[in-house]
Chains A and B, each alone.
Chain A
């Protein structure tokens, strides 16, 4: 069955690409969890918020226009200008840093040393708040996000594979860009954490809060830093997913796609997030391709979790997670 084999190859390749996108979302989780022990459920909403802000700035929308109009009876919607993509991304980043500062200042500073489950619940509360603010600020309609990334089938791959195997493979240009961006992003993150002062401080905090504090590292600064980086990762994820579906509420649900990746890779490991993402991506696509038709399809949502669960039974800390040492 050469046809089936080629199809499977195509599915695997696309699974890898999808895995990169999952890993992008998962990265944000890992960064924050490593540095502060917070399991940040709001990561998905942060991606939505970042993408909304980006589109809003690019289109020159007036923030909170709906609220202003409702209160003052005015009719304002747009400033009437368009901001170029790169500048808009920079401005969005400023907003995300501001958000990181606010989150740290108003929420997590007051929750230091609480139980993980409480921190987790606080992030769900944060997700609610950000959902509401995002909608009031920029409106709830679907927005087209176009920062000039190519989309659609890659012709070169299609033609080359057709000549080689007699069947042209489908690879989305957007996925290729996402992969390149992800590689650059991870490279930059590694360089940052290995070679800069702040990066080393970040790793020190991740290892041991108190030891880091006692050698003079400002925990507050590091936490703002790490939330900002997570905000940046969320922005990248938001752009990639938003380019596919338009920017809308459902973007926040991508967090659910990242959770099995985290389980599989381990909450504390950046390589884990990437490898986990790839395994989940390939696994769920292949399962849907091979087994899906027999059981009626739409298996992807649960299969990722079940796959991760099976992995966990054999390695309770995930693939690359820190070994859990239990003491009395």
Chain B
């Protein structure tokens, strides 16, 4: 019982005054995916630190990031959600498909928006059904279409008779693109070969032998954690041409390619934001955050792919908060106002330039019918010699004809199962 009272005291001591904009960061700096969770969490926190230090917060109100460690574990994610929502959390970005699925019904009931950027439930794009869930600027089905479009471009628009293999993590996340790819294979006449890898993916010899024997023209990968590193290493081992190996954005960080060394040169990954640190914003970041000793974590992740993604997520959240402040005419916004801000969010080139991030991400706008942005994405390629990712295409559109129908179908099923009447009022 003493334990209980002490824990209560600890919680009480932790709850402060409610006069700032609260952005909880459900991070994972431990566990099997720590290597991916750390840079994202650092980038997320650093951007808000920068806003506080340089601009005095968002619209004059300080942003406060509450970090809560989930370890990529759904139950801890629920605990983190309950622990932080009482503090006035404006938006949740759990960076885990499992936790996102937990939060979709809970956060909707509590009226708090969730932004699952490039993960989570793809059909949440349909805002008429998923009123509080946002997944702009792109989702997995867009990703599948981007990859196929890239292959189309490389082959002059004709890929009939080609064989494309999908190496995927055998979980909800990995299975996401299969429906889209099946549709696209019918449309473009390529042959789809599915290769499942079981969690965690330490051992993939049989999968890559299968690929070596079947000789697909291209390999796509939906991997996460150790599976990425092993897959890239095995692909290098069987001398699969790396420029015909395309990973989703979660298989495209420095962590994934570095262990394979030079073997990974030429590996491609999709992305929905730019890479590297050649942006004016990074100078400010260096000046106000890193040099001031206020960087999150060890401060050594600045400029890596996942750090940029975390920072991008924070930037979108801050912009949505500004939009919300504009709509409601108050600086101290509530989660419901934040939701309105996210639904009215518009990212233009001018806005990004103003922020010191010219060309950092695609232009997009959000509306009630479309919580997923415009689905633009680009392809990045790894240069092992220089040790950096380079964008090799511009932000291109996905095949909305195919994806739109799938989104409609899946969100409709969800609405029917949960008794939701789709509406945009």
Report A-B touching, CB under 8 Å: yes
Measuring CB to CB, which residues of chain A are less than 8 angstroms from any residue of chain B?
7, 10-11, 14-15, 17-18, 66, 69, 73, 77, 135, 139-142, 144-146, 151-153, 170, 172, 241, 244-246, 248-251, 253-254, 257, 284-285, 288-289, 292, 296-301
Q: Let me know if B209 and A10 touch, CB within 8 A.
A: yes
B353 at the interface (CB under 8 A from A): no
Contact residues of A: prevailing secondary structure: helix
Q: How far is the CB of A62 from chain B (nearest CB, A)?
A: 12
The 8 A-B residue pairs whose C-beta atoms are closest, nearest first, are A246-B259, A250-B226, A298-B196, A140-B34, A297-B196, A298-B198, A298-B170, A288-B206
B contact residues around A153 at 8 Å (CB): 237-239
B contact residues around A69 at 8 Å (CB): 298
Q: Let me know if A142 and B255 touch, CB within 8 A.
A: yes
Name 5 extra pairs, CB < 8 A, besides A170-B237, A248-B34, A285-B209: A140-B30, A245-B233, A250-B225, A288-B206, A297-B195
Q: Let me know if B236 and A140 touch, CB within 8 A.
A: no
B197 at the interface (CB under 8 A from A): yes
B194 at the interface (CB under 8 A from A): yes
Q: Let me know if A292 and B206 touch, CB within 8 A.
A: yes
Within 8 A of A (CB), among B1-51: 29-32, 34-35, 38
Q: Let me know if A11 and B237 touch, CB within 8 A.
A: no
Query: In the docked arrangement, what's the CA distance between A245 and B264, Å?
Result: 13
Query: In the docked arrangement, what's the CA distance between A292 and B31, Å?
Result: 30
Within 8 A of A (CB), among B235-286: 236-239, 255, 258-259, 261, 263
Q: Let me know if A300 and B203 touch, CB within 8 A.
A: yes
Can you pick out 28 interface pairs between chain A and chain B where the beta carbons lie within 8 Å of each other?
Answer: A7-B209, A14-B206, A77-B298, A135-B34, A139-B298, A140-B29, A140-B34, A140-B38, A141-B255, A144-B259, A151-B263, A152-B236, A152-B237, A152-B263, A153-B238, A172-B237, A244-B229, A246-B258, A254-B202, A257-B203, A288-B207, A289-B206, A289-B209, A289-B210, A297-B196, A298-B196, A298-B197, A300-B203
A contact residues around B293 at 8 Å (CB): 73
B287 at the interface (CB under 8 A from A): no
Q: Let me know if A135 and B212 touch, CB within 8 A.
A: no
From A144, A146, A248, A288, B226 is in contact (CB under 8 Å) with A248
A contact residues around B233 at 8 Å (CB): 151, 244-245
B contact residues around A14 at 8 Å (CB): 205-206, 209
B230 at the interface (CB under 8 A from A): yes
Q: How far is the CB of A61 from chain B (nearest CB, A)?
A: 12
A contact residues around B226 at 8 Å (CB): 245-246, 248, 250-251
**Given A66-B298, A77-B300, A144-B261, A245 contacting B196 (CB threshold 8 A):** no
Query: In the docked arrangement, what's the CA distance between A299 and B238, Å?
Result: 22
A contact residues around B199 at 8 Å (CB): 301
Query: Which residue of chain B lies nearest to A297 when distances are taken between CB atoms in the complex?
Result: B196
Q: Let me know if A11 and B206 touch, CB within 8 A.
A: yes
B213 at the interface (CB under 8 A from A): yes
B contact residues around A17 at 8 Å (CB): 205
B contact residues around A11 at 8 Å (CB): 206, 209
Query: In the docked arrangement, what's the CA distance between A135 and B32, Å?
Result: 11
Q: How far is the CB of A218 from chain B (nearest CB, A)?
A: 38
Q: Mark B181-201, 1 if CB is under 8 A from A, else 0.
A: 000000000000011111111
Query: In the docked arrangement, what's the CA distance between A146 and B209, Å?
Result: 24
